[in-house]
Each structure stands twice: as C-alpha cells, then as structure tokens.
Amino acid sequence: MADFLGKLKSKIDKGLSTVNVKSKELIEKQKIKMQLSELEAEKKNVLLELGKLTYLMIEASEGANKIAIDEAPNSKKSVELKPDKWEQVVLSVLSSICDGKLDSILFENTDKDFKITAKVLSAEVQKSIPKSEQKGQNLQWLGRVLGKFGIASRKFSKRINRERETVYEFDKQKTLSTLNIVERSRINTSKKTQSTAYREQMIAKSSETTKLDTKITELEQQLSQIGR
C-alpha cells in the first residue's frame, strides 16, 4: 500500500511539474507574441513615414530640377543673386513698389519707371529691420545691395527742398524681371534644402527599420526554441 501511494505521489508530482513547465512556456510564448505584435505595428508606422518622406523628397527634388531647367539661360546670374535676409527686405520693398502699394513714398512715378530718393527707400527698408539688428544698413549699404542685383537703371544727385539728395531710378519691367529671378532662385535653394533634409530623415527611418527587423528576428528565434 505504501509503495502504491509512493508511486501515485510521484506521478502526481511529475504531472504537476509538467503542467508548471507548460504553463511557463505558454506565458513566455504569449509574452513574446505580444512583443512581436508591438514591434510589427511600430515597423508598419515607420514604413508609412518612410513612404511619405520618399514622396516628399521626390516632389522637392523634381521641383528644384524644374526650376533649374527653367533658369538655365540665366544660371550664372541666378547663382550670383543669393540675397541674405536684409537684402531680401530691400527686394521686398521694391516688389511692393512695383505692385503699386507704396506710391506715396515715390519721388516720381510713371507707367515705365519710378524714382525714389535713397533716404526714403532706406527709411522704408529700416521699418522691417528690428532696431536690435539695425547695424550697417545705411545709404552706402543700400547702394551696394542695389548694385549687387543690378536693379536700379541709374543713380543721380538732385537738389530737393534745398538739400542735395541721391535719387535712384528703376525700370519697372527690369525690376520685376530681376525680382522674379531672385525669388525662383530662392525657392530652388529652399527645395534643394528640403530634399536633403528628407533624404537624411529617410536614412534614419531605414536604420530604424533595420533595428526593428533584427529585434523581430531575435524574438521569432526565441519563440521557436520554447518547448524544444
């Protein structure tokens, strides 16, 4: 009888041990499966982001290429016309004048051209420059900016209200043409910068995908080893 009970106890202990092992294996499998599911979902999101970045990079690249082709005859000039932020203010003021928004500040205005004193043009430009950054944007600086972009048709001195002043004359058509070239060049540079940024983000996302694939492979191997 004692021998029978001993064998029965041994079988029960062995059965319980087997159940415990199977339970632990089941729990471990479920845990790994949940991790795999989370990683697969993360990978799916990364791939979606990668797809969007690819589209944006191609769009920016094609836009930059189209502008470059359109500007081919003026390529050398376009390369030279790269305004900094304060030079851009001067160009913006001239653009507003060409659009008829600042007629009141002009010394003379006709259908073909307009004249404006250097002091008045400089004062209008200064309005868009924060006082903390108004350093060196004087009449000489203004003259250099206009010379760089070759916008003013001519410059002359004239006595106005008993004072000798510098007057700039602008051909409206020539001014608008130059402003358009500069703007297209600026957009082209911006698109190239965007394309580069998207490419860098794509590389980072691709690296992220590779890391996720490695983790998924490792977990799948662990899962296949459970219960062996």
CA quadruple 43, 44, 50, 52: dihedral, nearest 10: -160
Query: Regarding predicted confidence, which is higher, 51 or 90?
Result: 90
Q: What is the pLDDT of residue 79?
A: 41
Query: Regarding predicted confidence, which is higher, 70 or 139?
Result: 139
Q: What is the pLDDT of residue 47?
A: 87
Residues 166 and 89 in one domain: yes
Residues 27 and 61 in one domain: yes
Residues 164 and 217 in one domain: no
pTM of the model: 0.51
- CA atoms of 150 and 112, how far apart (whole Å): 17
Q: What is the CATH number of the domain that holds 96?
A: 1.10.10
Helix orientation angle between 139-149 and 85-98, rounded to the nearest 10 degrees: 80
Q: What is the pLDDT of residue 91?
A: 92
Residues 66 and 89 in one domain: no
State the DSSP code for 185. H
192-221 residue pLDDT tens: 677 777 788 888 888 888 998 899 998 888
Asked if pLDDT for residue 123 goes beyond 90, the answer is yes
Residues 8 and 101 in one domain: no
Q: What is the pLDDT of residue 36?
A: 85
Residues 178 and 103 in one domain: yes
2-47 residue pLDDT tens: 565 455 455 555 554 555 556 777 788 888 888 888 988 988 888 8
Furthest C-alpha separation in the chain = 134
Residues 144 and 212 in one domain: no
Residue 117 · residue 107 · CB < 8 Å: yes
Count of structural domains within the chain: 2
Query: Can you tell me the mean pLDDT for 122-145?
Result: 89
Q: What is the pLDDT of residue 15?
A: 53
Q: What is the pLDDT of residue 97?
A: 92
Residues 180 and 221 in one domain: no
What residues make up the domain containing 140? 80-190
Residues 98 and 168 in one domain: yes
CA quadruple 135, 139, 141, 143: dihedral, nearest 10: 170
Residues 113 and 156 in one domain: yes
Residues 138 and 84 in one domain: yes
50-83 residue pLDDT tens: 888 788 777 766 654 554 445 444 444 444 557 7
Is 92 part of any domain? yes
Is 75 part of any domain? no
Asked if pLDDT for residue 167 goes beyond 90, the answer is yes
